[in-house]
């Protein structure tokens, strides 16, 4: 009886080590990052309020995405870092969150269509609006990056940093 309990306990520990280790190794190899859309620079507000600001073309940076979007997971930490370096802030909206309504989506989709000429709302969707109400947008990471297959290379990340820095500077003008 005691021997059976010891074997069962050993089996459970071994099972946990194998699967826990496998999970950690897989995430390290795949470069899976945590989706963090609320920091000192990334401001999570009521989606309806953020969408109203966007629609009114209020000055600022706006980010639209969702946690299981591979491109969003890649872009968000870069945006956060650049906002921190430039002393900027961006409003973030989870387009699959429970507080994001169909009417919010219709407004953001129409806004996106105006500036991207795409029929659908693609994410990550980053918007910069300056003090004059002029708008610049960016969708995805960089053209040659497929986030479903690979993390961004250093070169791709540098190019994304340049794009985001220009947008942040634009939003502060």
Taking the CB of residue 66, how many other CB atoms lie within 10 A of it? 17
Which among 70, 42, 82 is positioned nearest to 148, based on CA atoms? 70
* Per-residue model confidence as pLDDT tens digits over 50-75: 999 999 999 999 999 999 999 999 99
Alpha carbon distances (Å) from 103 to 26, 129, 131: 39, 21, 26
Q: Is residue 35 part of a domain?
A: no
- Answer yes or no: is pLDDT of 25 > 50: no
Q: Are residues 90 and 123 in the same domain?
A: yes
- Work out the pLDDT band at 19, boundaries 50, 70, 90: low
Rounded CA-CA distance 169/173 in Å is 6
Q: What CA–CA distance (Å, rounded) separates 32 from 124? A: 16
Same domain membership, residue 92 and residue 18: no
- Say if 37 falls within a structural domain: no
Is the pLDDT confidence value at 137 over 80? yes
Contact 129, 135 (CB under 8 A): yes
Looking at the fold, whether 153 and 120 belong to one and the same domain comes out as yes
- Residue 144 domain-assigned (yes or no): yes
Looking up residue 103, the CATH number of its domain turns out to be: 3.40.30.10
CA Rg value for the chain: 20
Q: Given this model, what pLDDT does residue 85 score? A: 95
The more confident residue out of 7 and 155 is: 155
Can you give the pTM of this predicted structure? 0.80
Whole-number average pLDDT of the chain: 89
Q: Please report which confidence band the pLDDT of residue 13 belongs to, taking 50, 70 and 90 as the band edges.
A: low
What's the total number of domains in the chain? 2
Contacts of 55 (CB under 8 A, 6+ apart): 107, 111
Domain extent for 59? 42-171
78 torsion bin: left (phi>0), alpha (psi -120 to 50), beta (else): alpha
């Amino acid at each position: 009886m005691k021997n059976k309990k010891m074997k069962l306990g050993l089996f459970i520990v071994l099972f946990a080590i194998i699967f826990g280790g496998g999970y950690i190794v897989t995430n390290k190899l795949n470069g899976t990052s945590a989706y963090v859309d609320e920091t000192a620079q990334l401001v999570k507000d009521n989606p309806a309020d953020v969408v109203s600001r966007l629609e009114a073309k209020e000055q600022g940076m706006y980010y639209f995405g969702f946690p299981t979007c591979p491109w969003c997971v890649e872009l968000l930490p870069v945006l956060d870092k650049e906002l921190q370096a430039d002393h900027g802030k961006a409003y973030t909206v989870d387009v699959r969150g429970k507080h994001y309504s169909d009417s919010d989506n219709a407004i953001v989709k129409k806004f996106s269509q105006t500036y991207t000429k795409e029929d659908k709302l693609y994410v990550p969707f980053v918007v910069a609006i300056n003090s004059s109400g002029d708008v610049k947008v960016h969708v995805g990471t960089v053209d040659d990056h497929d986030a479903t297959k690979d993390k961004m290379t250093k070169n791709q990340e540098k190019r994304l940093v340049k794009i985001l820095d220009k947008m942040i500077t634009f939003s502060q003008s």
